[in-house]
Structures are given as structure tokens and as C-alpha cells.
Structure 1
């Protein structure tokens, strides 16, 4: 407990899933949690729950793809707190788009804008609030930023960009005492899953996933939050420029044939 005592932490995409679980865990570990999202009502509920449990949290309503909104967000934090210690770039979206020659340009632009540009913008304007005392930045990439998915080239490209952007940021700021790492989650049980597939298709996907995942299940947001906490805390004080895959072993094999047979 208290691994983040007196730390000021910013979490984007904090209204549900991994962001919500991380906000709750950071609060329990003593951080002041600044929760940012575009979903105003859900964001209020998350902050209210944290405050009801005795935690220190505040809600901000930010579109991470909008430069002006991010600048306003950064200026507000500077005025209210003066600095931050931790930044978790978690906000993102994902939608299938078909094969590349069929891929809608507006969807490609949206994925790049929210996932990759959003990570860039929030980092660009909040890093100055870390320069005087150092800190930790964690970017949320994906196993889809390490390998490819059918009909999701836009998401693959955006998340792959985040993975390598993390390395560039780590090199840029290592001498400033700012560590930058990213996580690469596998398929996690979050509302985004049904948003992508629909409820019925999502149910079928979950059943199928049990057969190909070495651990036989999806991950849960709390399991991801625990790794984010490690990277945010002094427990990882000599770790920077890295990505940590959190996927139940899914990326550890090349062919699922025998694994499938073992479940029959």
C-alpha cells in the first residue's frame, strides 16, 4: 500500500475498463488521480466512487485527439496542481475496417487521431509538468501493435506506432528522470469488446477465445492495472523504453493446433 503516496497521476480513458480499474488502484495506493475521458456521465461516476472510498480524484472531460482541448487540460492541471508525477495514456478506440483496399479513410483517420495522435498530444503538453521532478509515463499499446489482425490494419498501425513512440520518448527523457514504458494487453474483458463486435458476436468470441488462449480465458482490467502500477511506481525505477505483454501467454506460441486438440 501507499506505493503512490502523494503522487499526482493523470489517466486518460478513465471512465471504464482498464482506465477505471487503474484509477481505482492508483487511488488505493495513495495517488491523487486526475481522470480524463470524453464520457462525462461515466467519468463522474468513477470519480464519485473513488471519493466515496476516501480517495482523491477529479474528473476532466477531454477529447485527446483535439489539440486545443488537450492544451486547455494541461493548463488547467498546471494551474491547479503545478506538476504531475504519472501519466497513463490509456484512451483509445478500435473498430474493424476490412481489407486495406476497402478500408474507410475516415476510420483510418479516426484511429490514428484518437490512439496515436492522442498519445502524442497528451504527452507533448503534459511532459512539461514532469520535467522539474521526473516521473513515469505508461502508454497503452496492444498485442495488436506487435502482430497483425484480420481487417484491423488501422488499429495495428496506430498501436504499432505507440509501441515505437514509447521507445523514442524513453530515449528523449531518460536524462530528465522521466521513465516511459508501454503495456501490450491481449484481449481484455472491457466494454470495448462488445462495442467492436456487438453483444452476440462478442459472446461467441469469448467462447472461442477459451480454446486458443493458453490460460483459457480473457484477461480482466484489474490484472492490467496491476502492471501499470508496477511501471508507475519506484518498483520499476530502472525500467524504461520497454513494453510488457499481458496476454495470458497468447503471443508465446506460433501455432495453436496441439493446444486446440488438448481442449477437445
Structure 2
């Protein structure tokens, strides 16, 4: 990926950070975008410490003017854009729909679905110039119904079909658009466990690990295992793939989950 410029949203931690590192290791110049300034600066600095090229740009992907500025600063800094990774996301907590506040629903949709729309909206002219690639990070929750996650399931389902639709419209322009659907990944989205008392945090992690243990591979994924698939989809190795929805889930969507 020498000479290519990649923009990764939500790149201060988790899958986004691992993906930014993997792209830089492959030779790309990487823009680390995130709403978390301190963690984002740290992620970009870590890439540079390993010999890569990275720059942090603060951005709330749900805000049009911030996304417009993000793309403008990216192109001003590096001259062009080849790869967009729409990774930024929030979980929205756990409750049934009738228990969910309207504001909480709106925030999940704003970040998880409006965010990829806005980033794609401002990135696509640049990607068309370069016959570039977009990879959207969706979720297995965008493919199935899951307990107490109405907004998250709806938002990720939207990302899945937005991916297919963009592949249809922009394939003739030379832009490939694919998505990955991670399952249980060993990451703390939004630092939720970090905000819980230690006993509750441990219980939350135990529940997650227990759920992951019931899937065919019997464990959570490491963030690097997802990042490697994202980099594959962003590379020429996947040159005849577009509109593909790739599960990275340890087999959890391949079988009925026999909860004991």
C-alpha cells in the first residue's frame, strides 16, 4: 500500500486502532480520526513510533461540517485519498425498544449510520478520482436480531445494505465498497466497562466471554484478527470483491446458539 492514503474513523482504540496500525504497517499513510482527542493523538503517535506515517484529526462523524473538514484536511495533508474505513460506532446500551429514550436511539443512528453516510458523501469524489476503496465496519448484529439492542441492530443493518447500494452505484466509477461484520471481539466499545464498578465490569466481561464460548470457535476475536480482514478488503488482493458482506465472527452466525 505504499503511496496510498487511508482514513480510519473511530481509530483511537479497538478495531479502528488495530486497522490503522495494520494499514500503516502495509505502507499506507494513515489519518486517525476520532472524537477522543487524547486517545487519537496517542494512536497516531504509536504508529509514527513504529516507523509509519500517521496524523490525527479530531472529528465527530455525526456532524456534517466536521466530516467535511476532516476530508478537506486529509487531502490537504496528503494530496489524495485512496481508502476510507468507516469504523466509528457506539453501542447504545442494553434495553428493549419501549424502554429506550428517543435521544439514545438518535445518537446511535447518528454515529453508526449517519456517520458512514457523511464520510462516504465527502470521500466519494476523492475515491472516484483514485479508483479507491471503502470498507464499512458493520456487525453480526446487522445480520440477525439480538437481545436488547434495537438501535444498534437497526443501525448496523443499515450499514450492511448501504454497503451493497454504494457498490451498485459506484462500481462503474471504479470504487469498491465492502463491509466486515465482526462478532464477539475482545474490545470495550466506548469504554463502557471502564465506567462500571469493578465487580459489574467483571460480570459484563464474563457474560460476553460466556456468549463467545458458545460459538463454533469458542472465543472472542482479537482486534488484529478483524483488522487483517479489513486490510485485505482495502487491498488489491480483493480486487474483484464489491458489495460483499464478510463475517469475522468465529462462526456465530452459522449456527443456532444453544444457550445453556
TM-score higher than 0.5: yes
CA contact (8 A) 2:90 2:190 kept: no
Q: Deviations over 1:123-162 (max 9, x none)?
A: 1011111112211100010000000111110000000000
For 1:113-128, list aligned pairs within 5 A. 113-128=110-125
Q: Deviations over 1:28-75 (max 9, x none)?
A: 100000110011111111111111111010000000000111111122
CA contact (8 A) 1:97 1:107 kept: no
Task: Tell me the residue number matched to 1:92.
Answer: 89
Distance 1:215 1:91, change over 3 A: same
> For the residues of structure 2 that align with 1:192 and 1:167, how far apart are their CA atoms?
25
**Which consecutive residues of structure 2, in runs of 5 or more, have no partner in the other structure?**
none
> For the residues of structure 1 that align with 2:190 and 2:143, how far apart are their CA atoms?
19
**Aligned equivalent of 2:187, options 170, 186, 190:** 190
**1:77 and 2:74 are equivalent in the alignment:** yes
Distance 1:13 1:207, change over 3 A: closer
**Which consecutive residues of structure 1, in runs of 5 or more, have no partner in the other structure?**
none
Q: Secondary structure at the match of 1:132?
A: helix
> For the residues of structure 2 that align with 1:206 and 1:103, how far apart are their CA atoms?
22
**Aligned equivalent of 2:233, options 231, 234, 239:** 231
When the two chains are superposed, the root-mean-square deviation of aligned CA atoms in Å is 1.6
**1:40 and 2:37 are equivalent in the alignment:** yes
The CA deviation at 1:211 is 3.4
The CA deviation at 1:184 is 0.3
The CA deviation at 1:5 is 1.4
- Normalising by the residue count of structure 1, what TM-score does the alignment of the two structures yield? 0.92
CA contact (8 A) 1:140 1:182 kept: yes
> For the residues of structure 2 that align with 1:242 and 1:143, how far apart are their CA atoms?
14
Q: Secondary structure at the match of 2:130?
A: coil
- Normalising by the residue count of structure 2, what TM-score does the alignment of the two structures yield? 0.94
Task: Tell me the residue number matched to 1:156.
Answer: 153
CA contact (8 A) 2:7 2:32 kept: yes
Q: Which moved more, 1:225-234 or 1:76-85?
A: 76-85
CA contact (8 A) 2:11 2:33 kept: yes
Q: Which moved more, 1:177-186 or 1:79-88?
A: 79-88
Q: Which moved more, 1:79-88 or 1:54-63?
A: 79-88
The CA deviation at 1:205 is 1.2
**1:9 and 2:10 are equivalent in the alignment:** no
The structure 1 segments of at least 4 consecutive aligned residues displaced by more than 4 Å after TM superposition are none
The CA deviation at 1:210 is 4.6
> For the residues of structure 2 that align with 1:85 and 1:119, how far apart are their CA atoms?
16
Size of the alignment, in residue pairs? 255
> For the residues of structure 2 that align with 1:41 and 1:191, how far apart are their CA atoms?
17
Q: Deviations over 1:176-219 (max 9, x none)?
A: 11000000000101121861694123232144125312111101
CA contact (8 A) 1:183 1:245 kept: yes
